[in-house]
Structures are given as structure tokens and as C-alpha cells.
A and B are shown apart, each in its own frame.
Chain A
Amino acid sequence: MSTDATIEEDAERPASRDFLDGARLGVPVIVSSAPFAMLFGALAVANGLSVFEATLMSLTVFGGASQMVGIELFGQKVAPWLIVLSIFAVNFRHVLYSAAIGSRLAHWPVWQQAAGYFLLTDPQFALAEARAESGRKVGFVWYMGAAMPVGVSWVSCTWVGAAFGRLVPNPQALGLDFLLPIYFLGIVMGFRKRPLWLPIVLVSGVASILAYKFVGSPWHVSLGAVAGIAIGAIFGPAPGKVEAEEPTP
């Protein structure tokens, strides 16, 4: 039907098979991200967002760590542009994924590429890169099969957490106020194979504590981050291929 054979994954295979192949790979991502989506919803409401706003954020931003950073700052009466900048900074790693995966998606029509990049989370990049490296084509239907169920789960679990999170009787006893630092530490640990990880973390940590004490919140985020990034840029010209390490979207 198509003169451009590269558009079709394989003429013999029905599209539904490709979708299911992708969806199967998305199952572990759904299982591991669902608790964080519910936690995000519950914490977002605890930090003053409405159920609608929490769900809207999961639908439009679709990036776990950055959403958690956002609600952490929403709770601290930080200037709006700084919240946006902080979310942008946490999500900036996607630039590397996007550059790396670009050539694999280049045979899609533009609107499909536009949709594909919207769903380019950490696990989605890892799945797509693995498929491309195994020599199979990264088709649009397969890609959507892997990404769409994860997105639907992420948004609906956020809604569940936001709608029912406030029913938790004693949030302090459950440690809700300190779950975010534990979560952030886990993500930081996930990057530990990267070059210069320990010096970067130590310098960012010390710089952010000093900035917190002597400059004040929220500047500890940008000042601490700049100090760590400088360490990476000065001491670590260690090029390598881009890898996704975080299991949540």
C-alpha cells in the first residue's frame, strides 16, 4: 500500500502485533512507576495543588523526578520562573536522549516524530535504543505500544493518589514529608556509574548546603547544581554513549 517501504515495520506483521510487542516491554515500567505516580499525586495535593492541577502536570510534563521537584518548590513559595527553570534543569538530560535517538525516528512522518518526542522518557529511551541496537527497526506503532500504556498508567495513578491521598490520617507519622529526599537520593544513586559521580555529588551537596545557609532558599538549587556541573565539565571530558538509568518516566 505504501511506496515507501521503510514506513512499514514488516509487511507480514499486523500492526497490532507490533503494538503488543511494545506494550509487553512497558509492563515493568508501569509496575515500577505506578507507586511513584500515586505518591506524586498525594504529595502534590499535600503541597497545595488541586487534584486537577496534579493530574494536568502528569499529563503535560510526564517526567517523574522533575514533577517531584516542582511540587517540592510549589510548597516553598518560590518565584514561578524559578520553578519552571528547576523543572527544565532536571529534565535537561532529555536533550542527550533526543540527540541520540533522532536518527532512529527520522523515517517517521513529522507529526509522528512530534508525538514520539513528547513521550521520550528515561525508560522509553532505554527501550528504543535497545531495540535499535539489536538491529530491529524502531517503528511508530511499536514505540507507541511501549509508551502509551505507561503514560495512561502514570496519569491515572496520579489522579488516584491525588484524589485519595488526603484520606491518609496522619501524614507525618507515615513520613510523607520526608519521602521526597529519599526518592531524590535514589535517583542520584542511579547515576553512580557516570564519570566523576562522587565528586559531583559531594561538591553539589556541600555547595547547596552553604548556599542554603548563607544565600537562602531556593538559590541552593541553582548554585549547588552549577558547582557540580562545573566539576563535571572541568575534570570530566569523558565522552561515551548516552544511557538511561532511571526506571521512572
Chain B
Amino acid sequence: MSTTVWIILAAAVATYLTRVGGHLVLSRFETVHPRVEAGLNAVPAAVLTTLVAPAMLTAGPAEWIALAVGGLVALRGGLLTMFLAGAAVLIVLRQFMA
């Protein structure tokens, strides 16, 4: 099997551990320390932000405007609406700024 398949299977096991692990581990404690819970709550936004911010460094005006429009649409609409709006702006702008 290729390295890629091994990575995928390892990632699948790691993911399953997060889905079953909270029940098996976290529920054994009477209470989770508030700081631990606050830290866990911060994980998804913190991780995903690191995938957006550096991409902005290497991008240009078309990408920045697309992100800004997507971000504004996200204040009112759901993920799909926001995504389609950002993608549409990006595609249109790229026809003019290459």
C-alpha cells in the first residue's frame, strides 16, 4: 500500500479515537476543568485560522476581496451561501486581475 493510504488509515483511526474517546475518557471525570474545556472549545477556530491567514500573505487583491465578501456573507448566511459567494467573487475577479 502507498504511504498516502497509510496516512489516510492512520488519520481515520485518530478521528475515530476523538469520536469514541470523549465518551470513554472524558465522561469518567465528574467535571472537566473549565480551562481545559475553554481550551478545547478554542481548538477548531484556532487550527482553521492558521490555514487561512498565511494563504492571504501569498494571495492578491482578487483573493482578498473574495475572502472579505465571503466573511461578510457568513455573518448572515450559512456555510454554503458564504462559500458560493466567495467563490463567485473570486472567479469573476480573476477574469480581470490575473
**Which chain A residues have a beta carbon within 8 Å of chain B's beta carbons?**
32, 35-36, 49-50, 53, 56-57, 60-63, 65-66, 69-70, 72, 74, 80, 83-84, 86-103, 105, 113-114, 117-118, 120, 172-175, 178-191, 194-197, 200-201, 204-209, 212-213, 217, 220-221, 223-234, 236-239, 246-248
Contact = CB atoms under 8 A, between A and B. Distances in A.
A238 B23 contact: no
A196 B25 CA distance: 26
A200 B46 contact: yes
Contact of A185 (B2, B32, B43, B52): B52
Contacts of B90: 175, 178-179, 182
B34 A224 contact: no
B49 A208 contact: yes
A207 B82 CA distance: 26
A107 to B, nearest CB: 13
Interface residues of B, number: 69
B47 A89 contact: yes
Interface string B33-57: 0111111111111111111111111
Residue with the highest number of chain A CB atoms closer than 10 Å, among B2, B47, B94: B47
Contact of B70 (A98, A180, A186): A186
Contact of A197 (B45, B53, B94): B45
B4 A175 contact: no
A72 B55 CA distance: 11
Most buried by B among A35, A74, A94: A94
B46 A204 contact: yes
B78 A247 contact: yes
Contact of B86 (A92, A94, A185, A188): A185
